[in-house]
Amino acid sequence: MDRAQKTEFVAELNRTFSEVGVVVVTRNHGLTVAQSTALRGKMRDAGATYKVSKNKLAKIALDGTDYLSIGDLLTGPVGLASSIDPVAAAKVAVEFAKTNDKFEIVGGAMGATALDVAGVQALATLPSLDELRAKIVGLIVAPATKIATIAQAPAAQLARVLSAYAEKEAA
C-alpha cells in the first residue's frame, strides 16, 4: 500500500467505526482463503462486514470514535467484524468460531462499552433487531386479529341460525 491508499483506508475505517453499532475483534490463526470467503459471505448475509486490517492503521482510524477501547486488542493477526445491528456481527462471529478452531474472538465494543469474549458471546445470544421488530409487530397485530374474530363470530352464528331455519322450511 502506498501512502494515499493507506490514508483512504484509514478514512474508510474511521467512517465505518462512526456508523456501526458493534465491533468484534477476532484473531485469525491461518484461515484459508475459502474459510475467509465463507466468513465474509456469512457476514454479508447478516448485514455485517469483516475486514482484516493492519493494526497500526486500525489504531489510527479509532481516533475520534467511541471504539477507542478496542485499541489494546489490536495485536497479532486480527480481523474486525462490524455491523449497524448490535447483534449481527457478534452472532456470525460466534457461530463461525464454534466451527473453526483457527478463528477466535478476542473481544469487542458496543459504542463506548468494551466487551470481553463473554460479553460478545452474550450479545450473540440476543435476538437481532429484525427479530425484535417482528415480535413487536406480532404483538400489535394479535389483539386486532382477536377483535376481528370476536366481532365476526355473532354474525356467523346468526347466518347459521337463518340458514338452519331456511333449510327447515324448505324441507
| Each residue's pLDDT tens digit, 120-139 | 898 888 877 777 788 888 87
Q: How far apart are CA 127 and CA 134, in angstroms?
A: 11
pTM listed for this prediction: 0.71
Instruction: Look at residue 24 and tell me whether its pLDDT is greater than 90.
Output: yes
Q: Of all residues in the chain, what percent carry a pLDDT higher than 90? A: 22
Mean predicted confidence (pLDDT) in 76-100? 90
- Beta-bridge mates of residue 80: 25, 51
Grid cell 394479535 in the structure block, residue: 142
Nearest to 124 by CA among 85, 171, 89: 89
156 versus 57: the higher-pLDDT residue is 57
Q: List CB contacts of 75: < 8 A, sequence separation 6 or more.
A: 55
Please provide the distance, in angstroms rounded to a whole number, between the alpha carbons at the two ends of the chain: 93
Q: How far apart are CA 94 and CA 124, in angstroms?
A: 7
The pLDDT of residue 125: 86
SS3 65: coil
Which of 24-33, 67-76, 104-113, 137-146 is predicted with the least confidence, judged by mean pLDDT? 137-146
Q: Which pLDDT band, with edges at 50, 70 and 90, does 3 fall under?
A: confident
Q: Which three cell numbers stand for residue 85?
A: 445491528
The pLDDT of residue 44: 93
Instruction: Look at residue 41 and tell me whether its pLDDT is greater than 90.
Output: yes
Assess contact for 62 and 17: CB atoms under 8 A: yes
Per-residue buried b or exposed e for 142-157, using 16+ beta carbons within 10 Å of the residue's own CB = eeeeeeeeeeeeeeee
Grid cell 484473531 in the structure block, residue: 27
Nearest to 114 by CA among 81, 66, 58, 57: 66
Instruction: Look at residue 25 and tell me whether its pLDDT is greater than 90.
Output: yes
